[in-house]
A = this chain, B = another copy of it.
Amino acid sequence: MQRAAALVRRGCCPRTPGPWGRSQSSAAAEASAVLKVRPERSRRERILTLESMNPQVKAVEYAVRGPIVLKAGEIELELQRGIKKPFTEVIRANIGDAQAMGQQPITFLRQVMALCTYPNLLDSPSFPEDAKKRARRILQACGGNSLGSVEPCAGSGDKAVASPAEVIYMFRMCMTPRRMDETGSYSASQGVNCIREDVAAYITRRDGGVPADPDNIYLTTGASDGISTILKILVSGGGKSRTGVMIPIPQYPLYSAVISELDAIQVNYYLDEDNCWALNVNELRRAVQEAKDHCDPKVLCIINPGNPTGQVQSRKCIEDVIHFAWEEKLFLLADEVYQDNVYSPDCRFHSFKKVLYEMGPEYSSNVELASFHSTSKGYMGECGYRGGYMEVINLHPEIKGQLVKLLSVRLCPPVSGQAAMDIVVNPPVPGEESFEQFHREKESVLGNLAKKAKLTEDLFNQVPGIHCNPLQGAMYAFPRIFIPSKAVEAAQAHKMAPDMFYCMKLLEETGICVVPGSGFGQREGTYHFRMTILPPVEKLKTVLQKVKDFHIKFLEKYA
């Protein structure tokens, strides 16, 4: 009766208390009948609403999957329903998802993954020996030399508080002789030991011998997970002491989203569009000085090669950035997920880690750096496995312990993603059975991307009112578009950013889905969009031609 009374107190229809739903009083049955006619009357105010929810989450924006993608979905549904459009399909050039655009997976990678998934296949003659060798190594994990990484790295003097035991923990789990299906167990929170060793060996090779310590490698659920985890640890303080995080504008919107979630302060530095989107250290200086008035700038994020801007930083530029971080005491985050995606013959990828070490011990033993890689980009495009790693340099040993603790709350990154990462860092080598096919597939993907990067730049620059910087790397064009003032007014009338208005029109008239520059940030009064270069060459040509035709018509309409 207490319950019924409570119900009455709240102005709700009293109902027979328990067993609810199995027997109802006639009053309740009546009420229920009413509810069926006017179901909205039965609704009490919700607990979780836009007003009551976490305001930081509400403030998050993520354009790559935002309103334009929703509109694309609606249009596709209309096409499915037979509604006539000036086009027959929507072309998704909004997200860097290579395999969704028809890119074939690397055979060797999938073979090893299948073997790890279903070890019975290790007896099958239809899998090459080198794939089986990789799979056995991953399955048996730590092989014979897993203890190597438990020894302190020569010269570093640091040991993670938590790490050796975690390593050993994994070691034990994998050494249990009957276990041949590790992908089904949790791994160590930091990731499978032998995969972290392979990552360290890869980094060492990549960086011309600069040593990498497996103990500094953390396997992650895609690069996004690593970036948000390290930012989560870095953010602190209140008021003017709140952590400021410097990010490039244009940026990849994961950064602004995580900064918003964490209630940190976003500090923008602008890339130099007139100079192929180069990073200018004077602009970093301006940004950090201005930020000091209202926050504590503590983190500097770099995306190289750039997303959405596609520039590849010169070695000199990286040196300047590292020196700046040293000088201003900034923690460096180097997003290097496009390290294999460099197309311009004048450009080369230089890792922040390598340059840091080459700058000498004053830098290499002081500047705190986290760098990120992923299975989703490069030539493999394995987005679905959510594989990635983070390498940390000069992280305080106590913070390493904190990091492992934080990661262990989510238990571990997906083990299949870890295995995919292993193949990326430990591919077939000359002399191995699969080398030729692997090499052919890899070169074909990267060669095609290079071709498409050039094609996109050239064709965009033939359009009046579009300017496109060279696509030196990554997977996107970020052309600047001229939007006439009449179109800006029309956009304002629709309560849209002008480039959102432009992209919506482009989508509605051509079926091409790109992301407005405002989703990434751009200098006031300039307009851009981001388009992937992932469609197959012939389709990409059609896309570019359609954009051209649309743009000319758009200029005429709003002249």
> What residue of chain B has the Cβ atom nearest to residue A40's Cβ?
B157
Encoded as 1 (CB less than 8 Å from any B CB) or 0, chain A from 217 to 229 comes to 0000110110010
Q: Give Cα A298–Cα B28 distance, bound, in whole angstroms.
A: 27
Q: Are B329 and A35 in contact (CB under 8 A)?
A: no
Q: Can you identify 20 A-B contacts, CB atoms within 8 angstroms? A: A19-B316, A19-B358, A31-B362, A35-B361, A39-B155, A54-B233, A57-B406, A73-B172, A74-B165, A77-B164, A104-B181, A184-B382, A184-B385, A185-B383, A186-B384, A187-B384, A221-B410, A384-B416, A386-B413, A414-B417
Q: Which residues of B contact A253 (CB under 8 A)?
A: 409
Encoded as 1 (CB less than 8 Å from any B CB) or 0, chain A from 393 to 424 comes to 01110110010011011111111110000000
> What residue of chain B has the Cβ atom nearest to residue A189's Cβ?
B65
Q: Which residues of B contact A381 (CB under 8 A)?
A: 184
Q: Which residues of B contact A90 (CB under 8 A)?
A: 172
Q: Is A558 an interface residue (CB 8 A)?
A: no
Q: Which residues of B contact A232 (CB under 8 A)?
A: 54, 57, 261
The 6 closest A-B pairs by CB, nearest first: A73-B165, A384-B415, A20-B359, A114-B118, A21-B358, A73-B168
Q: Which residues of B contact A58 (CB under 8 A)?
A: 402
Q: Are A18 and B316 in contact (CB under 8 A)?
A: yes
Q: Give Cα A319–Cα B16 distance, bound, in whole angstroms.
A: 13
Q: Are B18 and A53 in contact (CB under 8 A)?
A: no
> What residue of chain B has the Cβ atom nearest to residue A90's Cβ?
B172
Q: Which residues of B contact A186 (CB under 8 A)?
A: 95, 97, 100, 376, 383-384
Q: Are A113 and B102 in contact (CB under 8 A)?
A: no
Partner of A3 from B15, B323, B365, B415 at Cβ < 8 Å: B323
> What residue of chain B has the Cβ atom nearest to residue A123's Cβ?
B126
Q: Which residues of B contact A410 (CB under 8 A)?
A: 221-222, 224-225, 228
Q: Which residues of B contact A254 (CB under 8 A)?
A: 409
Encoded as 1 (CB less than 8 Å from any B CB) or 0, chain A from 6 to 23 comes to 110000110101111110
Q: Are B414 and A360 in contact (CB under 8 A)?
A: no
Q: Is A147 an interface residue (CB 8 A)?
A: yes
Q: Is A43 an interface residue (CB 8 A)?
A: yes
Question: Which of A44-52, A270-278, A494-502, A544-552 contacts its partner?
Answer: A44-52
Encoded as 1 (CB less than 8 Å from any B CB) or 0, chain A from 160 to 189 comes to 001011111101110010110111111101
Chain B: minimal CB distance from A170 (Å) = 9
Partner of A46 from B28, B394, B413 at Cβ < 8 Å: B394
Q: Is A302 an interface residue (CB 8 A)?
A: no
Q: Is A346 an interface residue (CB 8 A)?
A: no
For the A-B complex with A53-B234, A69-B169 known, give 9 more contacts whose Cβ atoms are closer than 8 Å: A17-B323, A32-B362, A47-B329, A47-B368, A53-B402, A73-B164, A114-B114, A187-B384, A384-B416
Q: Are B365 and A39 in contact (CB under 8 A)?
A: yes
Q: Which residues of B contact A429 (CB under 8 A)?
A: none
